[in-house]
Amino acid sequence: MMTDKTPRVLVVDDEADLRELLVITLGRMKLDATAADSLGAARRLLDSDRFDLCLTDMNLGDGTGLDLLRHAAQTAPEMPVAVITAYGNMDVATEAMKLGAYDFIAKPVALDRLRQLIEDGLGISRAEKTGDGGEEEDTLVGQGPAMQRLKQQIRKLARSQAPIYISGESGSGKERVARLIHALGPRREKPFVAVNCGAIPSELMESEFFGHRKGSFTGAVEDRKGLFREADGGTLFLDEVADLPLHMQVKLLRAIQEKTVRPVGESKEFAVNLRILCATHRDLGEEMSAGRFRQDLYYRLNVIEAHVPPLRERHEDIPVLVEHILERLGEAWETRPPAVSERAMSALAGYRFPGNVRELENTLERALTLCDGEMIEPEHLHLPSDDGPQPAAGNGGGRHPQLPLEDYLQEIEKQEILRALDTTHWNRTAAAKKLGMTFRSLRYRLKKLELDQDGAPDSE
Ligand SMILES: Nc1ncnc2c1ncn2[C@@H]1O[C@H](COP(=O)(O)OP(=O)(O)OP(=O)(O)O)[C@@H](O)[C@H]1O
């Protein structure tokens, strides 16, 4: 029986057969389906009526599903839209998700996948009607313009099922962002599973991800479910995804595309329904160009990018972060958090924090042990800039006020040279090229900066 509360779903398809299949499936799910056979008809319905969900084919005769997505973004921005694509047409699916589709389904449409897609979409609709997520948003501390932009983007991303690549320097808060995307989305009642891909030994990776059967290899003393199935229904966060060895990248791609996993030593496959978020502090595009990251996996994971800016680009957030972190430390240590003197706060606000929020946390934790419990002063902070700055990547931030310009410039030069040497594994010829200088000039600078290593392998 349909009531006022029965969710209303708009189905848009110019193919009568598929349209009928969709309407019948929705009816069996006790949903109120309305069908449109063209882009024009769908637009008119959206303009005059309200729907909780929309399923649209890509080919609509008088236009495409992408046109409909653009129209819906204007007239019904809250309504989740999923698109039906031709088999294997990932480009279109990706484009649709960029335009705001929460998910896609490929033809031929498998009924259980279709039901799942509809349930996910209605979950988004419900999630949007209950609460504004303000409380969860507070877990990502910071109110400056950069953070506001990021939070706005996160709100939008949370409702989609699209994979998201979270970029940003170490310690900048990528995992926190991933948790927030999960907490604000329709999967929030389901597990959030985070895994650091760089921390799993290569030989254990497959069983860690996909599980194993007892006895399938030495050490497999019990059945293991694996991270994919543990995260079923929820979100799997692959941290440091660039550290995955190539053979695992192939398996990961397959699991994502087929939405199934097969545990080691098991003959059957298990269906999994999860959202994948990933992050790395490396440049994933560069990793791909260098052949260390598979191109197909890159395009599958990197549908949408969310960038977490480094702390030095949002100095305005430092005071609230300090307050938040001290409060948390106070709770953990069961003490009243100390105050921070004005001088200490301005030293913090002027420091570049190459280690980002994590470094701020460590700095404050140390200061808490060093201060008298009442007031944190600059000397409790031990900021490295006291004995020389640590210019981090990129520009902006600037010189510590107490540091002579010459020393500052020299430090930058040193850091840049070290970075180039690091990325070229101390191949000085290649490093010189990267830095746009001659080998001779690099050798001179290495001497001057006391960075030259005896017996360095390469020569001019
Ligand atoms: N905006 C923020 N508000 C509150 N705490 C934050 C914020 N950003 C980061 N943190 C804290 O800083 C620490 C580092 O954050 P997180 O682990 O999310 O960084 P990351 O970018 O994932 O680091 P890595 O690249 O090393 O994995 C965590 O303890 C986290 O709770």
Predicted confidence (pLDDT) per residue in 413-442, tens digit: 887 888 888 777 788 888 888 888 888 888
The proportion of the chain whose per-residue pLDDT surpasses 70, expressed as a percent, equals 91
pLDDT tens, position by position, 250-262: 999 999 888 899 9
Whether 204 and 241 have beta carbons less than 8 Å apart is answered as no
Q: How far is the CA of 253 from the centre of ligand 1 (A)?
A: 27
Q: How far is the CA of 24 from the centre of ligand 1 (A)?
A: 47
The reported pLDDT for the residue numbered 398 is: 56
Confidence at 395, pLDDT banded by 50, 70, 90: very low
pLDDT tens, position by position, 37-87: 999 999 999 999 999 999 999 999 899 999 999 999 889 888 999 999 887
The reported pLDDT for the residue numbered 390 is: 45
One domain for residues 205 and 75: no
Atom of ligand 1 nearest to the CA of 172: 21
Q: Whose CA is nearest to atom 25 of ligand 1?
A: 170
Q: Please check whether residue 184 lies inside any domain of the structure.
A: yes
One domain for residues 226 and 154: yes
Ligand 1 test: best mutation among 169, 175, 240, 359, most atoms within 8 Å of CB?
175
The reported pLDDT for the residue numbered 257 is: 82
Residue 305: strand pairing partners: 165
Give residue ranges with CB within 6 A of ligand 1: 140-142, 168, 170-176, 239, 281, 321, 324, 357-358, 361
Atom of ligand 1 nearest to the CA of 179: 18
Task: Give the domain extent around 413.
Answer: 405-448
Query: Of 226, 225, 232, 230, whose CA–CA distance to 272 is shortest?
Result: 232
Q: How far is the CA of 350 from the centre of ligand 1 (A)?
A: 20
Whether 284 and 239 have beta carbons less than 8 Å apart is answered as no
Ligand 1 test: best mutation among 172, 197, 239, most atoms within 8 Å of CB?
172
Tokens of 371: 């201060």
The reported pLDDT for the residue numbered 132 is: 57
One domain for residues 185 and 206: yes
User: Is pLDDT at 31 greater than 50 in this prediction?
Assistant: yes
Q: Whose CA is nearest to atom 29 of ligand 1?
A: 358
One domain for residues 210 and 286: yes
One domain for residues 377 and 423: no
Question: Whole-angstrom distance between the N-terminal and C-terminal Cα of the chain?
Answer: 83
Whether 337 and 324 have beta carbons less than 8 Å apart is answered as no
| Residue type, position 111, single letter | L
What distance separates the 2 farthest-apart alpha carbons in the chain? 84
pLDDT tens, position by position, 358-369: 999 999 999 998
The reported pLDDT for the residue numbered 457 is: 44
Atom of ligand 1 nearest to the CA of 177: 18
Q: How far is the CA of 331 from the centre of ligand 1 (A)?
A: 18
Q: Whose CA is nearest to atom 18 of ligand 1?
A: 173
What is the number of structural domains in the chain? 4
Q: Please check whether residue 283 lies inside any domain of the structure.
A: yes
Q: Please check whether residue 3 lies inside any domain of the structure.
A: no
Confidence at 307, pLDDT banded by 50, 70, 90: very high
Whether 105 and 85 have beta carbons less than 8 Å apart is answered as yes
Q: How far is the CA of 176 from the centre of ligand 1 (A)?
A: 6
The reported pLDDT for the residue numbered 400 is: 58
The reported pLDDT for the residue numbered 385 is: 53
Of 129, 145, 167, the last residue of a domain is 129
Atom of ligand 1 nearest to the CA of 170: 25
Query: What are the angstrom distances between the C-alpha of 183 and each of 132, 193, 294, 448?
Result: 11, 12, 30, 52
CATH of the domain at 358: 1.10.8.60
One domain for residues 183 and 286: yes
Q: Please check whether residue 457 lies inside any domain of the structure.
A: no
One domain for residues 354 and 411: no
The proportion of the chain whose per-residue pLDDT surpasses 90, expressed as a percent, equals 51
pLDDT tens, position by position, 215-229: 777 777 788 899 999
One domain for residues 23 and 144: no
Q: Please check whether residue 1 lies inside any domain of the structure.
A: no
State the pTM of this model: 0.74
Q: Please check whether residue 173 lies inside any domain of the structure.
A: yes
Atom of ligand 1 nearest to the CA of 176: 18
One domain for residues 147 and 292: yes
Q: How far is the CA of 137 from the centre of ligand 1 (A)?
A: 14
Confidence at 404, pLDDT banded by 50, 70, 90: low
Ligand 1 test: best mutation among 150, 241, 357, 360, most atoms within 8 Å of CB?
357
One domain for residues 73 and 203: no
